[in-house]
Amino acid sequence: MIGYLIRRVMQAVIVVLGVCLIVFILYHLLPGGAFSQGRLILGPRASVASIELWIQQNGLNKPIWTQFAILIGHVFTFNLGYSYKLNEPVATIIAQKLPKTVLLLGLAVLVTVIVAIPLGIFQVLRRNKPSDYVLTTLSFIFYATPTFFLGIVLIQLFSIHWHVFPPEAPQAASVGGILADWQALVLPVLTLAAVFIAGFSRYMRSSMMDALTQDYVRTARAKGLSTRRVNYVHALRNALIPIVTLLGLTLPAIVSGALITEDVYNYPGMGLAFYNAAINSDFPLLIGTVLVAAVATVVGSLLADILYAVLDPRIRYV
Amino acid sequence: MMPPSDVPSQDDIFKQRGAVQADVVQSQVGEAPMEVTEAGEAGGVGGLGKIVWRVFAENKLALVSIGIVVFMLLFCFVGPHVYVTNQTSLVVTSAGQVLAHPSAQYPLGTDPNGYNILGRLMFGGATTLEIALLAAGIATVFGVFFGATSGYVGGATDAVMMRIVDTILSVPTLFLLVVIATILRPSFWLIVLIVAIAAWLVPARLIRGESLTLRTREYVQAVRAMGGGGSRIVVRHIIPNAVGTIIVNATFQLADAVGVLAALGFLGFGVPAPGTSWGQMLSDGITYAQAGDWWLIYPAGVLIILITVSFNYIGDALRDAFEVRLQRR
């Protein structure tokens, strides 16, 4: 187990280094190179000499491998540079935005799990009956719906037609303030969760179906346990284990979905900050947010893997 | 570096994806006649095609989906020749031509630039399908060669190649794609490439898994004994024998490509004007739709959903059909 943990953490570190490399390459693909970045930061009236000084101060004239080493150092000390547009350190901006995105993601994952698992079980118990087919078709449709389109449709229905929920996400500065404005939070969370409910309930359905064909279920039936007990105690507990892995693997997609959702509802999180940075060519913020999103995703997947190992004692890690 | 074997790998999860009618088809397995030739060279494909088609055709939803895809192809590529509209230059002749409601003259109305929406759906659909097909094609070819090589060569090369895949797979793709689209100016081919970058990882992983098992088969050993080189084995023996996995995955790739393209279009990274795609049409229409001009977004949205669902159903049915082949071996 310890060996597995160490190996898995090592893999995660390698992946993070790989992400740094990708980001570094992207940074060097930036139009105009170091000089025009200096121009962007120091403004149009800066003299050539002061831009060259800036380049020197930021080490952008050093050999490329030294620069990469500096980037790695910065990443591990959480020094992500300075946003051109917002005039604030990138780390400060991310520290403000990240908890809000984590809140949105957490709520969406919670709703997904709460809805998808019973839905999947329901479909197994009613399999090949009309209700199963209807739910299957529905989940296919939701799975195929682009997140932003779903968001727009929900706004049309719930905000413009029925005036139930506001069309804009909470704009409060603190996480507590966002939670207090829970009505405005309903639509963003629903939008983000809907697509994943579709995928997870399908997976839950096949996982439960698998579990029901196992020998231990037959044994449980043979010794006379009630169907209810067999279904919920023996099959369900085993069917839930792969869901944890799925959660870890879906995390990158959920984070991508958050980018779209935040954009649709103007939710003040990482995704929106990233998107605004992309539009404004605010490269330090852009690169910083990608890096943090990637690292957070890797850590999330790592946690899901470890949880999986803890949950399933049958697995031996050598 | 290998994960413990009894932990479900990512490959399993991807195979599970849309494990929909697997149980429905199970019942038909016993009836399929034995037609597959002794596994090996790709010679037995004729019989394989028949058996795959038989199981596939039992899935009525998949047949309907094929019908929808064919209809969409006709709509997008033949349609503009039948229903001729101007989609490339701005010619607004009257005030009534801008944001016109659906009418006999404009069956689905017009957009803020005066373009006929029905014609624009064909025009943008052609771009959408071209990008999806090209991106899925590039991703599949590259992913298959990458994965087959990785699995066949094994050892340190395999470890490095798979860590590359893991790294890109663990980054939320949309973030990566938007950064690339911000740095480089989006054009038709850049978008194709961007969508392909997001897509090649899954086939690479799947085919690596296949390749790991296929390389131990007798016929591969036989080729090696006769002096066949690594590239011959990969191209002539491993890839043809993984063809089922490849085809099934390529179908899902198409569905995903439409989705990624729509998301990129929504974020404002689409083909340059006057070109468009369904995702861009949707995105451009949002503001007007909230004021009541529904025809700007709903037709495009429905088409995106329809084509994605169809590709997914076809992929599911194909997977069931190819799995039957595997079980008959």
- The predicted-structure confidence for A80-91, as pLDDT tens digits, reads as follows 777 777 778 888
Residues across chain B: 329
Name the average pLDDT for chain B: 75
Is residue A12 within 8 A of residue A298, CB to CB? The reply is yes
- Flag whether pLDDT at A262 surpasses 70: yes
Q: Which of B7, B167, B181 sits opposite A315 (nearest CB)?
A: B7
pLDDT at A215: 86
Q: Residue A115: its pLDDT value, please?
A: 92
DSSP conformational letter for A43: -
Separation of alpha carbons A252 and B174, rounded Å? 9
Residues of chain B found within 8 Å of residue A308, distances taken between Cβ atoms: 7
Pairwise CB contact (< 8 Å): A316 & B184: no
Residue-averaged pLDDT of chain A? 82
Give the residue among A93, A147, A85 at the shortest CA–CA distance from B267: A147
A13 interface with B at CB cutoff 8 Å: no
Give me the interface pTM, i.e. the ipTM.
0.80
Residues forming a β-bridge with A89: A82
d(CA B1, CA B25): 37
Q: Mark which residues 244-263 of A lie under 8 Å from B by CB.
A: 245-246, 249, 252-253, 255-256, 259-260, 263
Distance between CA atoms of residues B92 and B153, nearest Å: 61
Burial class for A53, CB neighbours closer than 10 Å (0-12, 13-18, 19+): middle
Q: Where does chain B have alpha helices with state H?
A: 10-16, 22-29, 45-58, 60-73, 79-82, 117-153, 155-170, 173-183, 188-199, 201-214, 218-225, 230-232, 239-241, 243-266, 278-290, 298-328
Q: Which tokens sit at A38?
A: 């200096």
Alpha carbon of residue B27 to chain centroid = 28
Say which range, A60-69, A115-124, A304-313, B1-10, has the weakest mean pLDDT.
Answer: B1-10
Chain B residues with CB under 8 Å of A260 CB are: 174, 263, 266-267
In this predicted model, what pLDDT tens digit does every residue of A291-301 receive, in sequence order? 888 887 788 87
Contact B289 A152 (CB under 8 A): yes
Chain A partners of B163 at a C-beta cutoff of 8 Å?
11, 14-15, 18
B312/A26 touch (CB, cutoff 8 Å), yes or no: no
Backbone angles phi, psi at A262, to 5 degrees: -60, -35
Task: Give residue A47's pLDDT.
Answer: 83
- Of all residues in chain B, the percent with pLDDT exceeding 90 is 4
Give the pLDDT band of residue B30 (cuts 50, 70, 90): very low
Largest CA distance in chain A: 86
CB contact under 8 A, A127 and B255: no
Is 90 exceeded by the pLDDT of residue B134?
A: yes
How many alpha carbons lie under 13 Å from residue B166 in its C-beta half-sphere?
26
A203 in Cβ contact with A113 (< 8 Å)? no
Q: Determine, for residues A252 and B168 on separate chains, whether the beta-carbon distance falls below 8 Å.
A: no
Residue B90 has pLDDT above 90, yes or no: no
In total, chain A counts a number of residues equal to 318
Strand partners, A82: A89
How confident is the model over B162-190, as a mean pLDDT? 81
Give the pLDDT mean for A109-138. Answer: 87
* Alpha-carbon dihedral sign for residues B121, B126, B128, B132: positive
Long-range Cβ pairs for the range A307-314 (8 Å, 24+): A307/A244, A308/A241, A308/A244, A308/A245, A308/A248, A308/B7, A309/A1, A309/A4, A309/A5, A309/B7, A311/A241, A311/A244, A312/A241, A314/B6
Helix orientation angle between A90-125 and A236-265, rounded to the nearest 10 degrees: 130
Assess contact for B144 and B207: CB atoms under 8 A: yes
Q: Who wins on pLDDT, B324 or B108?
A: B108
Q: Distance (Å) from the C-alpha of residue A224 to the closest C-alpha of chain B?
A: 26
Tokens representing A226 are 């009630």
Q: B95: which 2 tokens?
A: 């005030």
Does the distance separating the beta carbons of B179 and A278 come in below 8 Å?
yes
Give the number of A-B residue pairs with CB atoms closer than 8 Å: 171
**Is A299 in a helix, a strand, or coil?**
helix
How far, CA to CA in Å, does B321 sit from each of A307, B15, B17? 35, 14, 15
Taking the CA of residue A296 and the nearest CA in chain B, the distance in Å comes to 9
Mean of pLDDT values over B39-68: 70
Instruction: Supply the pLDDT for residue B44.
Output: 46
B138 confidence band (pLDDT: 50, 70, 90): very high
Q: If you write DSSP's letter for every residue of A162-196 in order, what string do you get?
A: S--S-SS----SSHHHHHHTHHHHHHHHHHHHHHH
**Does A188 sit behind a cis peptide bond, omega within 30 degrees of 0 on the bond before it?**
no
pLDDT-based confidence at residue B328 (cuts at 50, 70, 90) = very low
Instruction: Give the whole-number percent of chain A exceeding pLDDT 70.
Output: 96
Nearest CA in chain B to A273: B175
What is the model's pLDDT at position A316? 57
- Enter the pTM of the model: 0.80
The residue among B172, B203, B106 whose CA lies nearest residue A275 is B172
pLDDT for position B94? 66
Give the A window 173-232 contacts with B, CB below 8 Å: 199, 202-203, 205-207, 209
Tell if the CB–CB gap between B304 and A149 is shorter than 8 Å.
yes
Residue ranges of the alpha helices (H) in B171-238?
173-183, 188-199, 201-214, 218-225, 230-232
